[in-house]
Amino acid sequence: MTNARYFSGFLLVLLGLGSFTAQPLPQDWRTPFERDSTWSAEWKEAYAYLDRLDEVSDRISIRTFGESDGFLPLREVVISSPEVTTPQEARARNKVVLLINNAIHPGESAGVDACLMLAREMALEDRWQEVLEDMVIVMIPYYNLDGGYARRPHTRANQQGPAMQGFRGNGKNLDLNRDFIKCDSRNARSFTELFHYWDPDLFVDTHTSNGADYQATITVIATQPDKLPSGLKAYQQELLLPALYKGMEEKHWTMTPYVHTDGPPESGIHGFLDLPRYSTGYAALFQTLGFMPETHMLKPFSQRVYSTKAFLETICETAMRQKTDLLEARANARREVLATSIWPLQWQLDTSRVDSIWFGGYAHGYRPSAVSGLPRLFYDRDQPFYQQIPYYPAYTPILSAERPWGWIIPQAWTSIMERLAWNDIRMHRIVGDTLLRAPALRIISEETSDRPYEGHYLHAQVDVAEEMDTLLVRDGDVWIPADQPGIAYLMATMDPRAPDSWFAWNFLDAILNQKEYFSAYVFEDLADQMLNSDPELRRLFDHQRTLEPQWKTDPNAALEWIYRHSEYYEPTHRRYPIVRIMEPTGFRLRPYQGTSPRD
């Protein structure tokens, strides 16, 4: 806030509205939710409330950091004391930075209302002074603004309130919690830049869950620990998470791991593999510990708000107490990723590792459905239980890759470069045309979803072959060294086999089409000449004939095989254009200054 604003705040203090500690809350400062516990603040109400806080408190500063696809302003609310407005100041004061994101799913808006109350308490109450000296809290009060604009009473069929519920899709009907890598939305681009601006140590993305019924009002997804550098994993699992569960217990909110299960919860809860497309999986690529508190849809809205607020308070109190351990674990993690040479690309649940956790559930059963007449599932709230259930926390890598020395992206693929730049990836332009021997990847096969998913037809089960090839590197092509802090992000996006790679998300689909063909009646004679003049080709051809029964009936099939084994077949068909360079190579480089090489 400005000094002028501070002065108006000072006047309020003189008028007796200041110094709110241990005084009853003046009516004036009630949030929309506190006035009506079935009401979740609209984004405009939330912004207006925070602006009022900004006017009277010198602990808050507010900035517009981007916009939604529907061109609504995305805001950040920065809370600290003494006031800090930049990450440089935060680092200089050795503060923990916590980023809180709300209403990525605007029907799950408990975090919006929790953050308004928390922002007020932090802005006006002395009891937060100690925390705010050690921390900077950056809140995004409302992330999916377009979905918030589309509020209706009936958006969430199976949720207890609030009275008006925002919609999951944004202005382009995208689920923003799948958009952190592909960044199809302006929201995600804005978030990406804000994320790297602050480089938060901790990240919380507030949600409300669907699924089974159970006793807990709030559950939590902590980022999948096996994906973290070992020291950071140890810190999260051994210090931070136990303190969060304990802190919530002390506030009388028993919290359990997110109930991610194939059957009723008693059959066992699985850890959640938060791929980089999800908020916490994305954060983990930059060694930021991420949490998704998920409040339960069938609990009253007010309980969801207060339990979310308790979670946010707990993570702040814990981060303050554990500040040294947290900052040290993160600094060590940054060193660890730079020294890591083998990177997992794909993961699977490790069913051989099972823990047990205490879980408060409800007995379930089946009875005939009044609608279909078929058996239907029900949970009996009159039969609560508290028992140990299996918990499968671990994921194991099923495919890994060696870290290269760097990558070359041909300059034409600008949409990838844009995203790398938003993610603070260091890039350079190569000077001069160069012929290079390098291991190129060829896409042998992939499975493509037959229905669109978030505006894409995702590829999975990608199989590649590696072959040494002579490649033309052009002046202006982009060199990306692997030796940089964003290495985990690079490994997760550059290898086509990774589930959230550029290839998986269709950024490189054009390579899958062959552009040149042959006319069979002309190529016949050429093919015959080639077989006659190349005994090795003839031998391979004769062998292949025994394996391909359709050659007997389809005259073009054999021609196609010869074409593909000839110099005429285009070398770029299905060749993955991003090249990994495994050994130091002396390119001459100039700075990368934008997607055009002439920039």
Residues that bind Zn ion (CB under 5 A): 105, 108, 207
| Residue 431: DSSP 8-state | P
Q: Cβ 205 to Zn ion, closest distance in Å? A: 8
The closest of 119, 79, 323, 301 to 201, measured between CA atoms, is 323
Give the shortest CB-143-to-Zn ion separation in angstroms: 11
Which CB atom, from 103 or from 581, has the smaller least distance to Zn ion?
103
Neighbour count for residue 293 (Cβ, 10 Å): 29
Instruction: Give the integer Cα–Cα distance in Å for 383 and 234.
Output: 37
Smaller CB separation from Zn ion, 261 or 566: 261
Nearest approach in angstroms of CB 165 to Zn ion is 12
- Residue 385: CB minimum distance to Zn ion, A: 27
Q: What one-character-per-residue DSSP string does 58-70 give?
A: TTEEEEEEEE-TT
Nearest residue (CB) to Zn ion, 175 versus 500: 175
Residues in the chain, total? 599
By beta-carbon proximity to Zn ion, the closer residue of 222 and 462 is 222
For Zn ion, give the closer residue by CB, 106 or 393.
Answer: 106
| Euclidean distance between the first and the last CA atom of the chain, given in angstroms as a whole number | 37
- Cβ of residue 296: shortest distance to Zn ion, in angstroms? 12
Nearer to Zn ion, 295 or 501 (CB): 295
Dist CA 235 CA 226 (whole Å): 12
Beta strands at 289-296 and 218-222: parallel, antiparallel or unpaired = antiparallel
Nearest distance, CB of residue 292 and Zn ion, angstroms: 8
Closest CB to Zn ion among residues 105, 299: 105
Task: List beta partners, residue 355.
Answer: 391
CB-wise, 295 or 318, nearer to Zn ion?
A: 295
Residue with tokens 């671990």: 394
Nearer to Zn ion, 34 or 108 (CB): 108
How far apart, in Å, are the Cα atoms of 485 and each of 144, 325, 491, 506? Answer: 29, 20, 12, 26
Closest to Zn ion by CB, 105 vs 178, is 105
Cα–Cα distance measured from residue 435 to residue 431, given in angstroms and rounded to the nearest whole number: 12
The two beta strands, 207-209 and 289-296, are parallel
Q: HSE-up of 567 (CA within 13 Å, CB side)?
A: 3
Which one, 95 or 207, has the nearer CB to Zn ion? 207
Taking the C-alpha atoms of residue 78 and residue 61, their distance in angstroms, rounded to an integer, is: 5
Quote the least distance from Cβ 506 to Zn ion, whole Å: 24
Residue 60 to residue 77: CA distance in whole angstroms: 7
Shortest Å, Cβ 104 to Zn ion: 7
Strand 375-392 versus strand 355-368 pairing type: antiparallel
What distance in Å separates the CA atoms of residue 123 and residue 55, rounded to the nearest whole number?
Answer: 10
Which of 304/330 has CB closer to Zn ion? Answer: 304
Considering the complex, what minimum distance in angstroms separates the CB of residue 277 from Zn ion? 13
In the complex, minimum distance from the CB of residue 105 to Zn ion, in angstroms, rounded to a whole number: 4
Instruction: Provide, rounded to whole angstroms, the least separation between the CB of residue 392 and Zn ion.
Output: 22
Neighbours of 518 (CB within 10 A): 18
The token pair at 123 is 């802005």
Nearest to 314 by CA among 249, 254, 244, 255: 244
Helix (H, G, I), strand (E, B) or coil at 599: coil
Task: Compute the least distance from the CB of residue 36 to Zn ion, in Å.
Answer: 23
Token pair, residue 284, equals 């983990």
Q: Where are the alpha helices (DSSP H) in 169-293?
A: 186-198, 230-234, 241-250, 279-284
* Token code pair at residue 102: 């709300």
CA distance 577 to 596: 18
Residue 335, judged by CB atoms within 10 A of its CB (0-12, 13-18, 19+), counts as exposed
In the complex with Zn ion, the residue whose CB is nearer, 277 or 459, is: 277
Taking alpha carbons only, the member of 301, 289, 277 closest to residue 112 is 301
Least Å from the CB of residue 509 to Zn ion: 29
